[in-house]
Amino acid sequence: MLKRVAIVTGGARGIGLAVSRQLAEEGFCLAIMGTSSEEKVKERLDQLPADKGDIIYIQGSLGDRQDRNRLMETVLERFGRVDVLVNNAGVGPKQRLDILETSEECYDYVMHINLKGTFFLTQAVAKQMIKQKNQMEGQRYNQPMTIIIISSISEYTSSINRGEYCISKAGLGMVTKLFADRLANEGIQVFGIRPGIIRTDMTKTVAEKYDKLIAEGILPMKRWGEPEDIAKAVSVLCSGKMEYCVGQTIDVDGGFHIRRL
Ligand code: NAD
C-alpha cells in the first residue's frame, strides 16, 4: 500500500517533533520544514522510527515565499503527493512587550510567519490536494486528506505583553474556518488544534510562571501538557475516522477553556 505523505512545519522540535514521531510510527513519509540547519536537527530526525529515505528535511522559513515553493517542489519531487499538512511552526514575539510599547517590526515578524506563512502554505497544499483528487477521478481516492492548523489558547485569551502572537492565533481560527469551508466538498478535511500550556522550548523561559499557575489551579487537569498530547490529537484528526466532521478546532489544554466559577 502507498505510504501517506505528511508535511510538518517546525517538525524537528517541540510539539512538531512529537507530531513527526507519531506520524512516522504510523508509517507516513515526512517532509519536515524548519529554520535550523540540517546538521543541527539530524540527530533528532535520525531517531524517528522511519525507513531511511522516508524523511526529508527542508531548511527554510514558512514566512518566505521562495522557501515555501522550494518545500512544495522538494516534497513532490521526492514523494509525488501530499496527504496531510500539519501547520505547526509558529513564533512568539522576539521580545515580550506591552501592547503600548511593541513595535511594527515585532508585529510584522510574528504575523508574517504565523498567519501569512500558514495561509499561503495551506493554499499551496490545498491546490496540490485538489489536483491529486482530480487525477484519481473515477477510482476512489481512498487516502484521507487532512490539513491541521495548530493555533493556541491565545486564539481567545488576552496576553497584553504579546498581543501580536494572540492576534496571529486569532487569525488562524478564521484561516481554519475558511479553508474548511472551501475544501469540504473537495474531500479535504481541515481542523484546528488549540494547545494549552505545553512543555517545550517556547515555554522554557516562562516555565516558573506556569508552574505556579498550574499549582494554583489555572487548569482543571493539574499538569503541564506534553508535546505528545498534541501529537495524539493530530493522529486522530488525520485518521479519516471523523468522516462527517470539518472545521472544528479541538482544545488540547487540560480544560483551560472551561469557564469556571
Ligand atoms: P518551539 O519554539 O519549540 O518550536 C517551533 C518550531 O517552529 C521549531 O522547530 C522552529 O524551527 C519552527 N519555526 C520557527 N519559525 C519558523 C519559520 N519561520 N519557518 C519554519 N519553521 C519555523 O515551539 P512549540 O512550543 O513546539 O510550538 C509549536 C506550535 O504550537 C507553535 O505554533 C506555537 O505557537 C503553538 N503553541 C505552543 C504552545 C506551548 O505551550 N508550547 C501553546 C500553544 C500553542
Query: Average of pLDDT values for 207-222?
Result: 97
Residue nearest to atom 21 of ligand 1 (CA): 34
The sign of the dihedral angle between the CA atoms of 245, 247, 252, 257 is negative
Q: What is the pLDDT of residues 127-147, one digit of tens each?
A: 999 999 998 876 655 789 999
Q: Given the residues 57, 141, 156, 165, select the one marked as catalytic.
A: 165
Indicate if ligand 1 lies below 6 Å from the C-beta of 35.
yes
- The answer on pLDDT for 259 being more than 80 is yes
Indicate if ligand 1 lies below 6 Å from the C-beta of 75.
no
- The answer on pLDDT for 228 being more than 70 is yes
Expressed in angstroms and rounded, the spacing between residue 91 Cα and the centre of ligand 1 is 6
Indicate if ligand 1 lies below 6 Å from the C-beta of 123.
no
Q: Is the CATH code 3.40.50.720 the one for domain 5-252?
A: yes
Indicate if ligand 1 lies below 6 Å from the C-beta of 214.
no
Q: What is the pLDDT of residue 139?
A: 66
Start-end of H helices in 138-246: 163-183, 201-204, 207-215, 227-237
Start-end of H helices in 26-162: 38-46, 65-79, 104-111, 118-135
> CA–CA separation, 38 vs 34, rounded Å?
9
- The answer on pLDDT for 93 being more than 60 is yes
The sign of the dihedral angle between the CA atoms of 228, 199, 222, 160 is negative
- The answer on pLDDT for 195 being more than 90 is yes
Chain mean position to CA 92? 14
Reply yes or no on whether 165 is catalytic: yes
- The answer on pLDDT for 52 being more than 90 is no
pTM, entire model: 0.98
Expressed in angstroms and rounded, the spacing between residue 87 Cα and the centre of ligand 1 is 10
CB 234 within 8 A of CB 144: no
Expressed in angstroms and rounded, the spacing between residue 149 Cα and the centre of ligand 1 is 12
Query: Average of pLDDT values for 30-36?
Result: 98
Burial of 120 from C-beta contacts in 10 A (0-12 / 13-18 / 19+): middle
- The answer on pLDDT for 79 being more than 60 is yes
